[in-house]
Amino acid sequence: MTTTKTSHHNGSSRTLPAKGVDWLHNPIFNKGTAFTEAERDALGLRGLLPPHVQTMDEQVDRVMANFRAKTSDIERYIQLVGLQDRNETLFYRVVMDHLEEMMPIIYTPTVGKACQEFGHIFRRSRGMYVSLKDRGNIAKVLANWPTHDVKVIVVTDGERILGLGDLGASGMGIPVGKLSLYTACAGINPNQCLPITVDVGTNNEAFLKDPLYIGLHQKRIAGAEFDSFIEEFIVAVQQVFPGVLLQFEDFGNSNAFRLLEKYRDRLCTFNDDIQGTGSVALAGVLSALRLTGGKMSDHRVLFLGAGEAGMGIADNIVAVLLEEGLTKAEARQRIWFVDSKGLIVKGREGLVEHKLNYAHDHAPCADLLSAVKAIKPTMLIGVSGQPRTFTEEIVKTVGSYNKRPVIFALSNPTSKAECTAEEAYKWTDGRAIFASGSPFAPVTLNGQTHVPGQGNNAYIFPGVGLGVVSTGARRVTDAMFVAAAKALASLLREDELAEGRIYPSLKRIHEVSLKIAVAVAEEVYASKLNTLPRPADLPAHIQAQMYKPEYTAYAP
């Protein structure tokens, strides 16, 4: 039995454990108290488990009772990570059955706190750490992963974790969390997912002084040395996991744009902070148009923050404006940015390359309020990582120009949001169309309940990944993310829109991910980027591949 292969959940092949306790120590095969009487006899488990055989439903009830008894979200996070390490199938059953309750724990905002404390709450290694110590041997290191049947990798260097800055190797919570959502939201097989942290040092002084920090205790490398290390990593990934989808996550601005442009035509890759955020925000904008009326070309958009997220959103809005018949120059003229130095305008010294496309002829404005008064935006989008920067005066001023002002406070985690949902609604007498990056509770104002939208990338990247994997796409293009945004916006129902939502309920996430995967697959086929043949029934083919958290029978 030790060498027999099993097809476990949608075709991922793994070696079965030896008899006995090994079954209980392998999270892929462990069923805990749900092993049947026949399995306990056949697998050598008799006496190693309590005698009562439980159903998975009973196990879920026990997990949820413990989960809800915890007194803090970080304790809930630790509990769920422990469950994932013990019994992966049960973990995904719990998460999928209670996604709205689980999402804020396994991802934003709690994952941010978990990353900050990662070295102190560390229990068991998950994924792979590739550090500067591995230079010259990265391919050999990656080959230590127990299977080469990997379809999706999420990699970070930890330099810009959410809005929390440089967390170094402690940023591993982000790839782990992202890949959990690939499975929970779109059914990507968890055994085909690999989280990776590349440890190139950290400039976080508190971590460098902390003996419990899990990464290299040295400053970050940069420049040619960094590029050489990443190049070796990319080549090794292509060698060990050919055809894999590689997602760049939470790299610093100075590297994120450059790495995307350098590698997007060499392998199947994308940057979620740029393209995923751009796509989910575009979906929100398209939904908001149903409430404001008119076309995208009727609007002026002002961004606070000119990093990866802002540029990704702006480029997607430009794509829609081009479809409406504008030239690229006309489209960009409708989009403005404020960064830490004020309104981005032509002639300002020191502008980095990615900001130049949106530097327009205009007098300088030193701050956001003066920019709002000068530009008179119909849409105000915050991606700055700077909390409470959408002040009452700023929001009221935007509201004075618009019947239905669009206010997106997208910075993560919740503590970094530019304003709260309650503030946006209160300061506009309930007229605002609001979205945030992390969740906010519904707000009741003057007898009306408003349900704020959460522009969560989990609406987008899992479905995109499913479409890419299902077609064997050779590359990921911007057009795929525009297609994903349109698919997401099209799923918003009138009853959801009436509540103020601009995104479908997370309860519909599997429907959403399937629709996005089909839209992305259609774009793959249209671009002739597929390596797998097109099936006769595309939606049914993709749906059939989606992982379901069900126990496999290991004995007759």
Residues with catalytic function: 107, 178
CA angle 514–518–524, rounded 5-degree value: 140
Count how many Cα atoms sit within 13 Å of the Cα of residue 32 in the half-sphere of its side chain.
20
Q: What is the DSSP string of 176-210?
A: HHHHHHHHHHH---GGGEEEEEEE-----HHHHT-
DSSP H or E stretch at residue 512? helix 509-526
**Rounded CA gap, 429 and 448, in Å?**
11
245-248 sheet: strands from edge to edge? 128-131, 193-199, 152-156, 245-248, 269-271
The shares of helix, strand and coil residues in the chain, as percent rounded to the nearest 5, are 50, 10, 40
DSSP H or E stretch at residue 338? strand 335-339
Torsion, Cα 139 219 271 112, to 10 degrees, reads 110
CB atoms near residue 51 (< 10 Å): 9
Structure tokens that stand for 407 in this block? 């206010």
> Comparing C-alpha atoms, which of 143, 123, 125, 24 is closest to residue 75?
123
Handedness of CA 320, 323, 325, 329 (dihedral sign): positive
**Rounded CA gap, 338 and 371, in Å?**
8
According to DSSP, the β-strands at 193-199 and 152-156 are parallel
**Rounded CA gap, 30 and 468, in Å?**
30
| List of residues 6+ apart from 449 with CB closer than 8 A | 442, 443, 499
**Rounded CA gap, 444 and 500, in Å?**
12
| List of residues 6+ apart from 510 with CB closer than 8 A | 185, 186, 187, 546
For residue 226, what are the CA distances in angstroms to 86, 151, 157, 213? Answer: 36, 26, 11, 21
